[in-house]
């Protein structure tokens, strides 16, 4: 806490860019941050969305690499930044901090493996169902706040396809949408059945 720099930024803020030095970790207190990458043609790929309680940056902190993604606030975000020099000093004093960072890396590897599994599904409805279940697990509840464009960039489906498949899931009684950004999961078992039948 003594080493952390506290920041509060509005939605749309670029927190860091690709090729910036990977010399800090972020600890999110409130809000969501999108980690994305743009192709040479300008197409956006959302690689992850991190939120309350998540930590980001430890995977490259000691590698000498630079940032490989952009971090953009999806909504108003409150977070801490802790720089490499302070973390190194802390680990020397408290080795348990290093162990905790390794545990966090293991959790992130599991998250990435789940996302790869979801992306391997060809059926659009099944892929969307799997992604919604994944997000609900990350959020710790059945209410997801995310726009269609971010879902599209996350699971490589057209925005129009996302909207169409959401309507199908809504007709089936599996989800309920509220406006453009709120999705309530009405039947997680039903969504899981759609996802598993598509594998």
Q: What is the pLDDT of residues 157-187, one digit of tens each?
A: 899 999 999 999 999 999 999 988 899 999 9
d(CA 62, CA 101): 12
Domain boundary among 116, 145, 165: 116
Q: Which of 177, 199, 175, 168 is nearest to 189 (CA)?
A: 175
Q: Which residues contact 197 (CB under 8 A, 6 or more apart)?
A: 126
* Reported pTM: 0.60
Same domain, 81 and 139: no
Same domain, 64 and 89: yes
Q: List, in sequence order, the alpha helices (H) in the chain.
A: 84-93, 95-119, 124-139, 148-155, 159-171, 188-198
Residue 183 token pair: 């999705």
Q: β-strands 14-16, 44-50: how paired?
A: unpaired
Provide mean pLDDT across the span 58-68. 80
Same domain, 95 and 25: yes
We report the CATH number of the domain holding residue 27 as 2.60.120.10
Same domain, 79 and 101: yes
Same domain, 63 and 151: no
Q: Which residues contact 56 (CB under 8 A, 6 or more apart)?
A: 25, 26, 28, 33, 35, 50, 71
d(CA 10, CA 126): 34
Number of domains in the chain: 2
Same domain, 82 and 160: no
Same domain, 147 and 111: no
Same domain, 130 and 102: no
Per-residue pLDDT of 3-33, as tens digits, reads 567 899 999 999 999 999 988 888 899 999 9
Q: Tell me which residue has tokens 């909504």.
A: 75
Same domain, 73 and 143: no
Domain boundary among 100, 116, 132: 116
Same domain, 102 and 23: yes
The domain of 156 spans 122-198
pLDDT at position 78 over 90: yes
d(CA 191, CA 198): 11
Q: How confident is the model at residue 48 (pLDDT cuts 50, 70, 90)?
A: confident
Same domain, 106 and 158: no
């Amino acid at each position: 806490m003594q080493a952390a720099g506290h920041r509060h930024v509005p939605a749309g803020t670029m927190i860091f860019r690709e090729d910036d030095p990977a010399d800090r970790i972020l600890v999110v207190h409130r809000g969501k941050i999108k980690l994305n990458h743009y192709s040479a043609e300008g197409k956006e790929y959302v690689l992850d969305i991190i939120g309350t309680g998540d930590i980001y940056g430890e995977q490259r902190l000691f590698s000498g690499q630079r940032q490989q993604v952009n971090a953009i606030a999806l909504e108003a975000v409150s977070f801490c930044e802790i720089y490499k020099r302070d973390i190194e000093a802390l680990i020397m004093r408290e080795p348990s901090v290093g162990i905790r960072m390794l545990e966090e890396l293991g959790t992130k590897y599991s998250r990435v493996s789940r996302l790869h599994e979801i992306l391997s599904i060809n059926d659009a409805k099944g892929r969307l169902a799997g992604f919604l279940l994944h997000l609900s697990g990350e959020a710790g509840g059945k209410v997801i706040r995310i726009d269609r464009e971010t879902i599209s960039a996350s699971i490589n489906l057209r925005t129009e396809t996302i909207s169409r498949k959401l309507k199908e899931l809504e007709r089936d009684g599996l989800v309920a949408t509220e406006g453009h950004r709120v999705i309530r999961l009405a039947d997680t078992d039903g969504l899981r059945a759609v996802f598993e039948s598509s594998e």
